C-alpha cells in the first residue's frame, strides 16, 4: 500500500509540475531602442548586403524584440528557449501556472503550445504543405 501511495504521489507531482513549451506572441516591438534607419545596429553586414542585392526593404519584422518584454517574461520563472524576430515571439518552457501569468502581461498578444515529436522530443511547428506536380506535362503560356 505504501508503494502504491508513493507511485501515485510521484505521478501526481510529475503531472502537476509538468513543463511545456509555448510560443508567446508579443503585441509590438515598442521601445526596443532601435530604429529602422539604423539597421546596421541590429542586422549583420551580410544581411544588409543581401537585402540590397535583392532590393528588399528593411521592415519592422527585422527589428529585435523589446528586451524589457523578454526580461519580464523571464521574471515570471519561465525558461527562455529562443526568440523570433519575424514572428515577434518568444519560445518558453514553463508550467501552466507560469504560462497563465505570462498571458496576462499587457504586451502579450497570445500564446500557443508547441507540440512535441514522439520520436526525438524536438519541438514541431506547422509543417509546410508540399504539393507534388507532374513537371513533364507543364506548358508555358502560348505553347500547344
What's the pLDDT score for residue 141?
55
pTM as predicted: 0.65
Question: Does 58 have pLDDT greater than 80?
Answer: yes
Cβ(108)–Cβ(99) under 8 Å?
Answer: no
User: Under a CB-based contact definition with an 8 Å cutoff, are residues 63 and 85 in contact?
Assistant: yes
DSSP-based three-state secondary structure for 4: helix
Q: Which three cell numbers stand for residue 16?
A: 502537476
pLDDT digits (tens, 9 = 90+) for 91-141: 999 999 999 999 999 999 999 988 765 545 555 555 555 555 555 555 555
Rounded CA-CA distance 95/14 in Å is: 11
Grid cell digits, residue 120:
526525438
Domains and CATH numbers, the chain: 16-30+64-126 (3.30.70.80)
C-alpha to C-alpha distance for 29 and 19, rounded to whole angstroms: 27
Amino acid at each position: 500500500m505504501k508503494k502504491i501511495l508513493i507511485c501515485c504521489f510521484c505521478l501526481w507531482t510529475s503531472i502537476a509540475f509538468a513543463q511545456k513549451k509555448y510560443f508567446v506572441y508579443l503585441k509590438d516591438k515598442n521601445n526596443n531602442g532601435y530604429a529602422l534607419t539604423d539597421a546596421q545596429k541590429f542586422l549583420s553586414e551580410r544581411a544588409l548586403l543581401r537585402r540590397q542585392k535583392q532590393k528588399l526593404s528593411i521592415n519592422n519584422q527585422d527589428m529585435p524584440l523589446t528586451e524589457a518584454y523578454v526580461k519580464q517574461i523571464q521574471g515570471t520563472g519561465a525558461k527562455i528557449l529562443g526568440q523570433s524576430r519575424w514572428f515577434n515571439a518568444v519560445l518558453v518552457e514553463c508550467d501552466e501556472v507560469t504560462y497563465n501569468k505570462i498571458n496576462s502581461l499587457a504586451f502579450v498578444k497570445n500564446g500557443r503550445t508547441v507540440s512535441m515529436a514522439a520520436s526525438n522530443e524536438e519541438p514541431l511547428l506547422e509543417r509546410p504543405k508540399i504539393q507534388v506536380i507532374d513537371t513533364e506535362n507543364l506548358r508555358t503560356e502560348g505553347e500547344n
